[in-house]
Amino acid sequence: MKPVYLDNNATTKVAPEVLEEMLPYLSDFYGNPSSMHTFGGQIHRKIGQSRESVAALIGALPEEIIFTGCGTESDNTAIMSAVESFPRKKHVITTRVEHPAVLNFCHHLGRKGYRVTYLPVNSLGQLDMAMLLKSIDEDTALVSVMYANNETGVIFPIKEISELLRERGILFHTDAVQAVGKVPIDLKSLPVDMLSLSGHKLHAPKGIGVLYVRKGTRFSPYIIGGHQESGRRAGTENVASIIGLGKACQLANGNKEAEVHYLSTLRDRLEEGLLKCCPDVRVNGDVINRLPNTTNISFEYVEGEAILLRLNEYNICASSGSACTSGSLEPSHVLRSMGVPFTAVHGSIRFSMSRYNTDSEIDKVIEIMPSIIKELRQLSPFGREKLSCPSS
């Protein structure tokens, strides 16, 4: 039975068109793009076309695109490049709600003697802009703020932030892994210096990422070796995946407005249905500025894992904010930073849609959920308390 896959912020299905485009480069066209012969050279040209497709999706120049191994590598590279390019500056600013690809790298820098400021967010997951400005000083090498949060979908004011930092001459990186392909991004009018994206979040395969580096930005490579990617990221290219990513970007670019509309219709249908049919349910985060495909919902007085296990019995895939996508047993650092109450953090579920989901899949979840929640609340000590005290 085909799963009802509502975990697209974790990873997405490879689009059939992407797979088709990739297959020849996993079979007949196996030359090394760095080789002198025509057999390899034709692959070099094909990589160039992919670079153009990626650049077109985000309003960049092809030479500003560096192919990497994943979103995590892009994030690590951007931060490392900033501190290496400005060796006298020992301060980095980020937020408390970043993905571990940024957060843990900043913890690593902290252990190496750098000063790191972790900006707080409010109860809607919005950034404290005044605090951002207050935190900047002459020692600041980089500000790194994610474009959209992977757990709540909340979108940060990247245009405003990038313009403020540009005026002050501070380097700015944004982790746009969850945003690219879901919301339009045009780097021609968005003065960010570096931006990360990841193929497997937009229907390309896993193991391919991009770091955009604006022309003229000081850059220091993280992976050192051969001359690939104009000396900015060594290692023989992951040819098939680069070509797959190019195709995925073309698909996303060709269908931008319609896709945003389709995804938000699915998300709103699910959210409205669940809010109507289950009591004590709340949506976490800013519901205006957020990704069209994501909703983070807390079912109070139940454990998120228990909900996921029951959904799994119906072959419905989602993820929870309690034991979290990372597989750790810690409750979500994102929801805790927002001050979401304990009982709601533990009962939070993230549903994330893609172009391959349908209304009938959403309706299946809405139909099944009330009985799952009712049953789990009867078993839960929090739920029993709540049931015996209806006025609280």
147/219 with CB nearer ligand PLP: 147
Give the residue closest to ligand PLP by C-beta: 71
198/343 with CB nearer ligand PLP: 198
Q: Give CA separation, 288 vs 126, 153, 195, 354, in Å.
A: 11, 10, 23, 19
Shortest distance in whole angstroms from residue 105 CB to ligand PLP: 11
Q: Please, are residues 29 and 22 in contact by the beta-carbon 8 Å criterion?
A: no
Shortest distance in whole angstroms from residue 62 CB to ligand PLP: 21
Shortest distance in whole angstroms from residue 104 CB to ligand PLP: 11
Tokens 């979290």 correspond to what residue? Answer: 324
Shortest distance in whole angstroms from residue 10 CB to ligand PLP: 7
List, in sequence order, every residue forming a beta bridge with 92; answer none if it has no partner: 116, 142
Shortest distance in whole angstroms from residue 223 CB to ligand PLP: 14
Active-site annotation holder among 70, 106, 249, 324: 324
Contacts of 207 (CB under 8 A, 6+ apart): 69, 70, 199, 200, 238, 241
72/296 with CB nearer ligand PLP: 72
Which residues make up the interface to ligand PLP (CB under 6 A)?
Answer: 70-72, 75, 99, 101, 146, 150, 175, 177-178, 198, 200, 209
List the one residue out of 324, 273, 300 whose CA is nearest residue 373.
300
Query: What b/e string do you get for 68-97 counting C-beta neighbours within 10 Å, with b at 16 or more?
Result: bbbbbbbbbbbbbbbbeebeebbbbbbbeb
Tell me phi and psi for residue 274, to 5 degrees: -70, -40
101/369 with CB nearer ligand PLP: 101
Question: Active-site residue 317, yes or no?
Answer: no
71/246 with CB nearer ligand PLP: 71
182/346 with CB nearer ligand PLP: 182
List the one residue out of 53, 45, 73 whose CA is nearest residue 194.
73
Shortest distance in whole angstroms from residue 386 CB to ligand PLP: 33
Shortest distance in whole angstroms from residue 95 CB to ligand PLP: 11
22/302 with CB nearer ligand PLP: 22
List, in sequence order, every residue forming a beta bridge with 67; answer none if it has no partner: 210
Q: Please, are residues 335 and 348 in contact by the beta-carbon 8 Å criterion?
A: yes
Residues labelled catalytic: 324
